[in-house]
């Protein structure tokens, strides 16, 4: 079977930029809940005929294993690299956050990645194909953010999970986290439109200004490459200097 790179959240933002960059080198499985936007991503990629669309809403964690397993079997492909870029970050104080919203944030941002990794490490489903995993976190797991307590918690959970799995799956599989700072994405734009709640300028503390999605895509490409063959269990902060002070 052919080996592919699976990218969740590929319909926009960091996931889309990563797909476009990696499409020059790898065949891709583009994952997301919006099929139309996934198709738009594919048309932006190079070698469009080599890339597959996995249309699935990661908020439905219970069905991920069955759905993805069937998808891989139907298309006769395996996954050698997994990039988890899917995420949601609704902005609200804790007192206004419902239990349903809390569960949805954790499911999309964290538990879906757990389920996917569990499936991809199954020899019955994916053989021994999986070699590298990159999880997209956020500097808000470190510095916190008003109105985003559960989002911060989901990213912190992801980082702790990565460290444990890097130990558990070594040496055959490498796992690393990228911790972006303020990136100009649809999600970032939404946060910037709610400055009264955030109570700080959008570029507060960014020594090099706000980042672009391509900055994170470039780091992801490096971690998937042979140049990073001796790197695992690490968190790479890519934030324009925001956490330097």
Q: How confident is the model at residue 34 (pLDDT cuts 50, 70, 90)?
A: very high
| Mean pLDDT score, 27-53 | 98
What pLDDT sits at residue 203?
A: 58
Closest to 80 measured CA to CA, from 10, 28, 41: 28
Distance CA 86, CA 64 (A): 14
Q: pLDDT band for 205, please (50, 70, 90 cuts).
A: confident
pLDDT over threshold 50, residue 194: no
Residue 54: name the closest of 89, 4, 20, 104 by CA.
4
Q: Is residue 222 predicted with pLDDT exceeding 50?
A: yes
Query: What would the mean pLDDT of 179-201 be, rounded to a whole number?
Result: 60
Mean pLDDT of the chain: 93
- Going by C-alpha positions, the residue among 239, 15, 234, 24 that lies closest to residue 132 is 234
Residues 72-118: pLDDT tens digits? 999 999 999 999 999 999 888 999 999 999 999 999 999 999 999 99
56 is catalytic: no
CA distance 185 to 65: 29
Burial degree of 100 (CB within 10 A; 0-12, 13-18, 19+): exposed
- Contact between 103 and 60 (Cβ < 8 Å): no
Q: Please write the tens of the pLDDT for every residue from 44-60.
A: 999 999 999 999 999 99
Q: Which domains does the chain have, with CATH numbers?
A: 2-239 (3.40.50.720)
Catalytic residue among 4, 56, 151, 206: 151
The predicted-structure confidence for 125-157, as pLDDT tens digits, reads as follows 999 999 999 999 999 999 988 899 999 999 999
């Amino acid at each position: 079977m052919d080996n592919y790179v699976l990218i969740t959240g590929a319909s926009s933002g960091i996931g889309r930029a990563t797909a476009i960059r990696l499409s020059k080198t790898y065949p891709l499985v583009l994952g997301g809940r919006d099929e139309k936007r996934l198709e738009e991503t594919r048309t932006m990629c190079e070698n469009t005929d080599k890339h597959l669309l996995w249309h699935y809403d990661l908020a439905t964690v219970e069905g991920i294993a069955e759905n993805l397993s069937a998808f891989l079997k139907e298309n006769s492909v395996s996954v050698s690299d997994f990039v988890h870029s899917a995420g949601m970050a609704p902005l609200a104080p804790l007192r206004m956050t419902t239990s349903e919203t809390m569960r949805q944030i954790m499911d999309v941002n964290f538990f879906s990645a757990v389920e996917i990794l569990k499936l991809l490490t199954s020899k019955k489903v994916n053989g021994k194909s999986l070699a590298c995993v990159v999880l997209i976190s956020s500097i808000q797991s470190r510095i916190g953010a008003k109105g985003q307590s559960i989002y911060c918690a989901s990213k912190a959970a992801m980082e702790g999970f990565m460290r444990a799995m890097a130990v558990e799956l070594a040496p055959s599989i490498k796992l690393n986290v990228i911790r972006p700072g303020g990136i100009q994405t649809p999600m970032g734009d939404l946060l910037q439109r709610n400055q009264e709640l955030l109570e700080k300028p959008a570029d507060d503390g960014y020594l090099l200004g706000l980042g672009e999605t391509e900055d994170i895509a470039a780091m992801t490409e490096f971690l998937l490459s042979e140049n990073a063959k001796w790197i695992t269990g690490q968190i790479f902060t890519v934030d324009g200097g925001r956490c330097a002070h």
